[in-house]
Amino acid sequence: MIYDIIIIGAGPAAATFARRVAASGKSILIIDGQSDVRPKPCGGLLAPDAQKLFAHFDFVLPKDVLVDPQIFSVKTIDLVSRRVRYYQRYYMNMNRLAFDRFLLSLIPENMQILQGRCLKAEKRNGLFELEILAAGEKQSLQCRKLIGADGAESIVRRSFFKSMPMQYIAIQQWFRHNDASNPFYSCIFDAKTSESCSWMIYKDEYVIYGGCFAKKGSRAAFDEQKSRLEQFLKQDFGEAVKTEACLVNRPRKMSDFITGKGGVYLIGEAAGFISASSFEGISSAIKSGSLLADAFLQHDDEKSIAKAYHRSTLPLRCKLMTKTVKRWFMYTPWVRDILLRTGISSIALSPDNDIK
């Protein structure tokens, strides 16, 4: 069988695209590389932009996708200047795997989802030929159009477009905690170990601590930063119950965003759609998945789809470029120091609360 469309990946970008094109009558297959033992490493925060898209689609979020506690502020810590500020935030705190499964549950049941990994993708005689590893066995699949929704490690992007944005290694550890006296979402800056930010987020009985690090020496930098944070907080994380790592993109220029051509299209982080300042990517994944679906619903030939999708993502691409400017303000140590010292747009904690 030759599928009309094969989608590699089953994250928010893929789930949104698949849900919206389901009614088109095309034969569609999703290859899902995520599993309970190999979930996507993520902070699991649903940002206001993503919440707005939920409003746009008239979605509600079931309570079993959420975790404790819900968050109203971010505690920003600079480990070098040792300054701390609090800023109001409107994130929803979620279990990321449950969130992805929820989005997939919105796709009509007759759409096929294959648990497996794409090992190779190439174009031959006008068709895409894929080598898939599923249930321990290799198989070949063919399709007319191919969607790369496979995140920062995108085999689709590497196979057909070569150029990748600058990338970091995101490392995240899970610890058990029995102390909810500090239930903040914390954002940690430490210019000594990372040129990006790290995060500490409570999730039910766990606290996750993670960050983005230069590829070379990433694990050593993570360990050093964790120990510097433990000293600063006077808190020992204890034994990690889980360590996760994956690549994360940091787009720096317009050409880092690739939307696709020749029957191959990229959505979500595979296309480079992620904030360079906060690494928030769920909203861009949903947005781009939906925009590509619009292009598929309006056009049939590959050139028109590519053109319409590229054009419709211009506002998204421009918005993400502004994040690179925001990044300069957030990550240039002397600029951050002025912002933290002056406390612009920060909130004061009530003197009678006992949160450290």
Ligand X SMILES: Cc1cc2nc3c(=O)[nH]c(=O)nc-3n(C[C@H](O)[C@H](O)[C@H](O)COP(=O)(O)OP(=O)(O)OC[C@H]3O[C@@H](n4cnc5c(N)ncnc54)[C@H](O)[C@@H]3O)c2cc1C
- Which residues of this chain interact with ligand X, rule CB under 6 A? 8-14, 31, 33-34, 40-45, 47, 117-118, 149-151, 153, 155, 170, 172, 210, 246, 248, 268-270, 274, 279-282, 285
Considering Cα of 331, then 335, then 341, then 342, what sign does the dihedral take?
Answer: negative
Question: Closest separation between CB of residue 144 and ligand X, Å?
Answer: 19
Q: Looking at beta carbons only, is 78 or 150 nearer to ligand X? A: 150
| Closest by Cα among 273, 274, 277, 276 to 265 | 273
- CB within 8 A of 36, min separation 6: which ones? 97
Question: Closest separation between CB of residue 41 and ligand X, Å?
Answer: 4
Q: Looking at beta carbons only, is 36 or 179 nearer to ligand X? A: 36
Question: Closest separation between CB of residue 310 and ligand X, Å?
Answer: 17
The β-bridge partners of 83 are 78
Question: Closest separation between CB of residue 133 and ligand X, Å?
Answer: 8
Would you put residue 21 in left (φ > 0), alpha (ψ -120 to 50) or beta? Answer: alpha
- Rounded CA-CA distance 34/13 in Å is 14
Q: Looking at beta carbons only, is 45 or 308 nearer to ligand X? A: 45
Q: Looking at beta carbons only, is 86 or 91 nearer to ligand X? A: 91
Question: Closest separation between CB of residue 29 and ligand X, Å?
Answer: 11
Q: How many residues does the chain have?
A: 356
Q: Looking at beta carbons only, is 45 or 340 nearer to ligand X? A: 45
| Closest by Cα among 336, 80, 327, 84 to 224 | 80
Q: Looking at beta carbons only, is 131 or 337 nearer to ligand X? A: 131
Would you put residue 159 in left (φ > 0), alpha (ψ -120 to 50) or beta? Answer: alpha
Question: Closest separation between CB of residue 235 and ligand X, Å?
Answer: 21
Q: Looking at beta carbons only, is 29 or 339 nearer to ligand X? A: 29
Question: Closest separation between CB of residue 354 and ligand X, Å?
Answer: 27
Q: Looking at beta carbons only, is 83 or 246 nearer to ligand X? A: 246
Other C-beta atoms within 10 Å of 237: how many? 18
Is 98 exposed, middle or buried, given 0-12, 13-18 or 19+ CB atoms closer than 10 A? middle
Report long-range pairs for 117-121 (Cβ below 8 Å, ≥24 apart): 117/31, 117/33, 118/8, 118/31, 118/33, 118/150, 118/155, 118/156, 119/155, 120/155, 120/159, 121/8, 121/146, 121/155, 121/156, 121/159, 121/160
Question: Closest separation between CB of residue 338 and ligand X, Å?
Answer: 27
The residue whose two tokens read 């933290």 is: 340
- Helix, strand, coil proportions of the chain in percent (round to 5)? 35, 30, 35
